[in-house]
Chain A
């Protein structure tokens, strides 16, 4: 067991050392190194950005934006935490900006659009469940939506959310409480419990 743990720790340290070397090369203008970093973390960033948009094209654009932002802000990475953590923080900010832009355009996904999904009780499928949660969260203001997305999908603590967004922890706690309350009200208004028979 301890040898397995040591192997995992060594592997992680190896990746971090490799990241550091690639980042140093990037700061000298080496784009090939950055391409290697993109390939290494693309999947993890795509996983995060999928929570911000379920449109494949938009999701891919967001992933690109995250890496472009990362390239132009690479000098700000201090190397105190693993590179992927920093990349996730950049991704969270890019996604949040995207939501705020969309909110200005007054675009909203209605839960009613998913009536067919609900009728077929297909919400037990991960992708349908994902669509339903996405539609439910989209009813919330961008800040509340972000807090819940990070808590539920990224397993972020209030401290981590506050760190990523530069907010106070008290503000995050208050937002989380209010967001849950609002989400519950929306779900009850839409009679979500009655529609989802598989949960009984």
Chain B
């Protein structure tokens, strides 16, 4: 007899088998809740870390902004000094 035919016969027998009875509804709802809580916690942590990083960047940015001067001023400052000199 052909091997594939034998395997098909085996499969036919196997299909008559009854799988185990499960009761997962409680477990499913618990898992959904747990996964949702985990996602929310991860999102909160990500938001907190992002906020801290943004604050640090803002602190340094303000400092740099304050130290910035108008590039035109660099050009005219020597002229201004020269005109103000008492010749």
Contacts and interface: CB of A to CB of B under 8 A. Distances in A.
> Do they bind each other?
yes
Interface of A: 31, 34-35, 38-39, 42-43, 46-47, 49-50, 56, 59-60, 63-64, 67-68, 71-72, 123-127, 129-130, 132-134, 136, 152-153, 180, 183-184, 187-188, 192-193, 196, 199-200
Contacts of B23: 42
Given A31-B29, A126-B13, A126-B16, A42 B24 contact: yes
Interface string B20-50: 1111110111011001000000000000000
A126 B17 contact: yes
B69 to A, nearest CB: 54
Interface of B: 1, 3-4, 6-11, 13-25, 27-29, 31-32, 35
Contacts of B10: 123, 129, 132-133, 136, 196
Nearest to B28: A67
Contacts of B32: 31, 34, 68, 71-72
Contacts, number: 107
11 contacts: A34-B29, A42-B23, A59-B19, A59-B20, A67-B24, A126-B13, A126-B17, A129-B11, A183-B7, A184-B7, A192-B3
Candidate in B17, B19, B31 with the most chain A CB atoms within 10 angstroms: B19
A59 B8 CA distance: 24
In the complex, which of the residues B1, B14, B27, B32 has the most CB atoms of chain A within 10 Å of its own CB atom?
B14
A68 B23 CA distance: 14
Contacts of A49: 19
B28 A38 contact: yes
A183 B11 CA distance: 13
Given A71-B32, A72-B35, A130-B17, A193 B25 contact: no
A187 B35 contact: no
Given A123-B10, A129-B14, A68 B28 contact: yes
Given A31-B29, A50-B19, A123 B13 contact: yes
A31 B18 CA distance: 29
Contact of B20 (A56, A125, A132): A56
A187 B19 contact: no
B19 to A, nearest CB: 4
A60 B9 contact: no
A64 B24 contact: yes
B13 A124 contact: yes
A200 B20 CA distance: 30
